[in-house]
Structure 1
Amino acid sequence: MFEKLNVFNIAYTMATHAGKRQALVSENIANADTPKYHAKDLLPFAEVYAHGKTQGDMIASRGNHMNASDGMNWAITTDDSSVDPNDNSVSIEEEILKGVEAKRQHDRALAIYRSSMNILRASLGRS
């Protein structure tokens, strides 16, 4: 009956997306002075989810695409808009803002998960 609760899959995927985005932000900040390094980012979760939706489920383009321990390598973009003289496109200020967005997304995913668990517990008569 409760084998496929889509809300838990979405919350898990959203939290994973936030974690991978935070890792890319960290990588970008670490390479802020590396010549010819271009900032990387993931597409926003809503956009990824909207393009991958098939009757409410996300689709995988290859094996272990989602729920994989090696991460989500899909939808990685590079920023070539503003580069400095050594061909580096990392802006520390933008990366800090991206990190805050990723933290908020992760917190939102945990809140969805907790709320769903509370609803399940209440429906079973447990608190």
Structure 2
Amino acid sequence: MRPGVRKGSDTMDLTKLALFQMAQTRMDWATQRQKILAQNVANADTPKYRAHDLKKLDFGKLAVSENNRTRLVRTDASHQASVAPDPGTFRMVEERYPFESSADGNEVVLEEQMSRLSETKNQYTLATELVKKHLSMIKMVTRGAR
């Protein structure tokens, strides 16, 4: 343990930071989606199998949710009050699928599933890169910029 650092209440719990919570949620979602998409690919030849997917995670809503919202405070009466955007202003519409199905009723389109797997991998990678960058900024602040 470094001098000046005490164990207990003075330690920083990174899991309580909003960015880490959002990244964890994104990674959990991507992990679960990866399992479901892999199951779809495994059942590509199963008659009457319907492909499954998770509802898209709205990262924007997650970022402005009440728990993660940073509150601005007026420090002077002459300052303008802040107005937070309404997170429910825009509505996301998902495309209807299946786009096609085989003669035996199987609705798994391998190209579509592979594309979704790639997209999911990229989203997971993005979340891990955000965590790495945020950690490097915290380290830079705690150690002092060099």
CA shift for structure 1 position 46: 2.2
The counterpart of 1:36, out of the listed 25, 48, 64, is 48
Which whole-Å CA distance do the structure 1 matches of 2:50 and 2:97 have between them? 6
Residue 126 of structure 2, aligned match among 100, 108, 111: 108
Q: Provide the alpha-carbon RMSD of the alignment.
A: 2.6
Structure with the higher strand share, 1 or 2 = 1
In structure 2, distance between residues paired with 1:53 and 1:42:
21
Q: Mark the CA change 1:115 to 1:100 in structure 2 (over 3 Å): closer, same or farther.
A: same
Partner in structure 2 of residue 10 of structure 1: 22
Alpha-carbon distance, 1:82 to partner? 2.5
Cα deviation, 1:23-68, whole Å, max 9, x if unaligned, reads 1111000000111110011122226x628963144xxxxxxxxxxx
Which amino acid letter does the alignment assign opposite residue 55 of structure 1?
A: E
Tell me the residue number matched to 2:103. 85
Equivalent position SS for 1:42: coil
Residue type at the aligned position of 2:31: G
What CA distance in whole angstroms lies between the structure 2 residues aligned with 1:108 and 1:83?
32
8 Å CA contact 2:37–2:116 kept in 1: the answer is: yes
1:67 paired residue number: none
1:21 and 1:126, CA in 2 relative to 1: closer, same or farther beyond 3 A?
Answer: farther
Ranges of 4+ aligned residues in structure 1 off by more than 3 Å: 51-54, 78-81
Of 12, 15, 35, 1:23 maps to 35
Q: Distance in 2 between matches of 1:34 and 1:52?
A: 39
Distance 1:53 1:34, change over 3 A: farther
SS at match of 1:54: coil
Q: Calculate percent identity across the aligned residue pairs.
A: 26
> Conserved in 1, the CA contact under 8 Å of 2:101 and 2:109?
no
More helix by share: 1
After alignment, is 92-101 or 16-25 more displaced? 16-25
In 2: Cα distance, 1:53 partner to 1:38 partner: 34
